[in-house]
Structure 1
């Protein structure tokens, strides 16, 4: 029973890519810089798999005989957002980046959007989600106007108080936005950002929902499903791929919950792919430049890793990676253009294999496809032969 468990540590980059200057990210290194600022990271289980063998990380030493295979991956697609990173893992390499709107969305679009939803909107600016609900939240509560904002990423975000605009209505508003945002306005994701609380103490809830564009061609999740295997998605994975190829999915409310639900899927012993996104690193800590809590979240994941390893079957392969960086030590609160770590473990792999610097995240998808025996993907070079024992 062949199965791959793929865990995406959202935003856990491992050093700037050669084109980081194009993105304003020179010097970014999510793992390395955090470790320097804190005087080290304590990640003994990731260290044992070979994390410290990829790049120098204070507190995470290289080991002579790593239990896993290790390397890092470059992103071939332009951009540094969640959708682009996850799509490339699944074999979709973009030629053009999704559009961004540093000055906000065009007035004509905002007016047409307001007409469609029957409510005027406020905001329409680049902003931090936590900051803008504190600043505009009371006006929203008073007027009923949803808060629209974006970031350096290709997103159209809509924040609303759950007691002012009920979730069902907010989700419908987002569906309308997704339908309207096409052509030059075709952002990667529309995101519902519900919140609760009172003035000065507004807090986002766990009812976030993402509306992504569909991948433009067949990708990893599609070919796994077509093979008759299972694609079990944990967290926002289903949203990122617009539901394509997913056979089962469960939302998650935290990293801890995401790991718990991954373990439940692992216990079901179904062939195919379990794919999990652990979003807290990015959403709660990276974008808020919270070095200490980001580091604590990494250490909490590391402490749970033995549970995941113990649940692996004889033909299971565990892969751990990320989708981009989000260095909390820099002045920016946005994603960073970084390499991502690649760690692979299983009972039938060659431990200690250096997988080198992969030229695309798509190599990951190509390897999973080869292991599960599906049709080949359009992009990516499999490293399966380097992994398996002979």
Structure 2
């Protein structure tokens, strides 16, 4: 009997375009494949052993192994969109039929005026931009005037950047909370994100790890709520708490990097409880995908791969591990934004079968429903998704 599931999201590591990718301007997107093009000596033996290269069409078959030991497959996004919130919500069993509203031309003037009135600060930018580029462009003016930098992307995000020596961190968080209160109804927006940075002695403006996301609350119960309602612990690592606005979570910890996220996940695994550990490793997306850095992305995957045996060693006999992504972010694609791709899924544990090919599943939600069905022993069901329990568990667990 499995008492606990560990889900680790390698944020944005897509494995090839979805059939409808062209509608999103993402035809030909392939995050993993294009990373491998730029990093042909990529060393990820532990992910390969689990079956990463054996997933249908993943990296053109270049990472295949003869006898994969994990359960592996790819998942299509049923919801409309390609953002973090939609992806994680669907993994947890929630369908989002209407994408969150985006602001390619910036936010309406009347909204920005009210934002300025409520926060007591003016604003700069209000445009679509790369976060690292816009603080280079507007940082000096921000530091001179005290006006905060506001920008968005192809996702439904209202991002506020500020130098922490100009706008103290707690004030920046308060500003974002006020923005969150404004961004509903006709101004609906998926996330407000605080983007603090520091000015280094050499003049470089570097974002800190004190980012905070303010999401809308999921409109229905997800895997998290259902496991919690069944008496289980839901332990969130990284920005999972922010993505679900705390809904369904019993404990959460902040992380400052992928490596820190892995360490804190291992610390959670070593504790004794029934339920779910849900981790997001955001650096893949924020540091390498959005910044269009395939070499850096490849190195980050290698660094994660090195720690996989440590994760596996910490697991108990009644644990199961699921690795997946939440969307794509092809680091050689045009622009700076996410890409509409299949996500990968890799599963392992003492009680799971070996070498099972799940093929292509029709929704990310099959992950959440499988976890919910196993951890609650069938007592709870997610809004959408089909359980893969019979496919992945050994016979005596069926």
Which TM-score tier does this pair reach, normalised by the shorter chain?
over 0.9
Offset from partner CA, 1:123-181 (integer Å, 9 cap, x none): 10001101111111111111111110001110000011111111111111101100110
Q: 2:389 aligns with which of 374, 384, 390?
A: 384
Contact map agreement 1:42 1:59 (CA 8 A) in 2: no
8 Å contact kept, 1:72–1:342: yes
2:185 aligned residue: 183
Secondary structure of 2:15's counterpart equals coil
**Matched ranges for 1:1-390 at <5 A:** 2-54=3-55, 55-57=57-59, 61-197=63-199, 200-373=203-376, 374-390=379-395
TM-fit CA distance, 1:42 = 1.6
* Cα deviations by residue, 1:33-84 (Å, 9 ceiling, x for unpaired): 1112322422100000011110343795322321100100000111100000
Give 5+ residue unaligned stretches, structure 2: none
Deviations 1:83-111 (A, max 9, x none): 00000011110110001000000111101
Cα distance in 2 for partners of 1:262, 1:60 equals: 30
Secondary structure in structure 2 of the residue aligned to 1:21: helix
Contact 2:75 / 2:361 at 8 angstroms: preserved in 1? yes
Indicate the SS of the match to 2:341. coil
Q: Is the 8 A contact 1:349 1:387 kept in 2?
A: yes
**Inter-CA distance 96–85: structure 2 relative to 1 (3 Å threshold):** same
- Aligned partners of 1:297 and 1:128: how far apart in 2? 20
Which ranges of 4 or more aligned residues in structure 1 deviate by more than 4 Å? none
Q: Deviations over 1:291-313 (max 9, x none)?
A: 11100000010010000111111
Identify which range, 178-187 or 73-82, moves more after superposition: 178-187
CA distance in 2, matches of 1:255, 1:119: 33
Deviation at 1:347, TM superposition (A): 0.7
C-alpha distance in structure 1 between counterparts of 2:58 and 2:382, whole Å: 33
What is the rounded CA distance, in whole Å, between the counterparts of 2:158 and 2:249 in structure 1? 24
For residue 226 of structure 2, give the secondary structure of its aligned residue in structure 1: helix
CA distance in 2, matches of 1:56, 1:73: 12
State the distance in 2 between where 1:312 and 1:142 align: 51
Equivalent pairs counted in the alignment come to 390
TM-score, with structure 2 as normaliser: 0.96
Separation in structure 1 between the aligned mates of residue 278 and residue 266 of structure 2, nearest angstrom: 11
C-alpha separation in 2, matches of 1:91 and 1:178: 25
- Residues of 2 paired with 1:40 and 1:56: CA distance? 16
For residue 331 of structure 1, report the CA deviation from its aligned partner.
2.3
In structure 1, distance between residues paired with 2:269 and 2:38: 36
Query: Does structure 2 conserve the Cα–Cα contact (< 8 Å) formed by 1:161 and 1:195?
Result: yes
Aligned to 1:294, the other structure's residue is in SS state: helix
Distance 2:272 2:79 in 1: 34
TM-aligned CA deviation for residue 380 of structure 1: 0.4
Please report the TM-score for the alignment, with normalisation by the length of structure 1. 0.98
**Does the Cα contact within 8 Å between 2:34 and 2:294 map onto a contact in 1?**
no
Q: Write the distance in 2 (CA, Å) between the matches of 1:207 and 1:176.
A: 18
Structure 1 unaligned blocks of 5 or more: none
- CA RMSD in angstroms comes to 1.3
